[in-house]
Amino acid sequence: EAQVTQNPRYLITVTGKKLTVTCSQNMNHEYMSWYRQDPGLGLRQIYYSMNVEVTDKGDVPEGYKVSRKEKRNFPLILESPSPNQTSLYFCASSSRGSQPQHFGDGTRLSIL
Amino acid sequence: AQSVTQLGSHVSVSEGALVLLRCNYSSSVPPYLFWYVQYPNQGLQLLLKYTSAATLVKGINGFEAEFKKSETSFHLTKPSAHMSDAAEYFCAVSEGPNFGNEKLTFGTGTRLTIIP
């Protein structure tokens, strides 16, 4: 079954404690992306990757890092989380950015 | 730079009535346009996509959208609303691979409520 898997699904943590949200896809997609969803703001792209070792900033990259060492994995790293990064995060993948995205089920992060 | 505007953050329609969700876009090149639906506590699912073929695009669950270049619009419609259509709907635009930039931009979403 085609899947984008995010972990964890829920996380409550404290300011400054580094965390990583993992994302894995089994569709051999080249394009992967991270979004955050906030009420009234819709989805905003954080980072995207067009292939292994190729990443680029989206609309709201500040405070986040990503890496793409393998095609299937695209982790999102918060080196020093702050309360304004409390949000619902989605990972997505597709063959290209101009093609329909397959979304994960989301990760709800609360930074206290 | 590409952008998307969804008019109306909340839309309510009666069951059986026409659904119309509005989306206007801005793009410097012919765009790729998408509508996605998000049901409560779920990720987004693709409803339909426009990629420069037919201007009237049919999607799943009876939805369709019409690309109007002169109006820079891509409004989503469904002739007869069903209770199961209650969800949040997102319009999205990509300028595609034309400039080597495959960034995808979403609108702020429209929450559709169906009145029994």
pLDDT (0 to 100) of residue B95: 75
Residue A42: list chain B partners with CB under 8 A: 6, 90, 106-109
| Nearest one of B92, B74, B95, B76 to B31, comparing CA atoms | B95
| Separation in Å, CA of B44 to nearest CA in chain A | 6
Model confidence at A102: pLDDT above 60:
yes
Per-residue pLDDT reduced to its tens digit, A85-94: 999 999 999 9
The radius of gyration of chain B's CA atoms, rounded to the nearest angstrom, is: 14
Annotate B62-97 with DSSP letters as a single string. G-EEEEEGGGTEEEEEESS--GGG-EEEEEEEE-GG
Contact indicator for A50, A97 with CB cutoff of 8 Å: yes
Residue A8 C-alpha from the chain's centroid: 12
Confidence of residue B88 (pLDDT cuts 50, 70, 90): very high
| Nearest one of B94, B111, B109, B108 to B30, comparing CA atoms | B94
Chain A within 8 Å of B105 (Cβ-Cβ)? yes
Give the Cβ contact number of residue A51 at 10 Å: 12
Indicate the residue of A31, A44, A100 with minimum beta-carbon distance to B46.
A100
Per-residue pLDDT reduced to its tens digit, A26-66: 999 999 999 999 988 999 999 999 899 999 998 899 999 99
Indicate the residue of B6, B103, B107 with minimum beta-carbon distance to A97.
B103
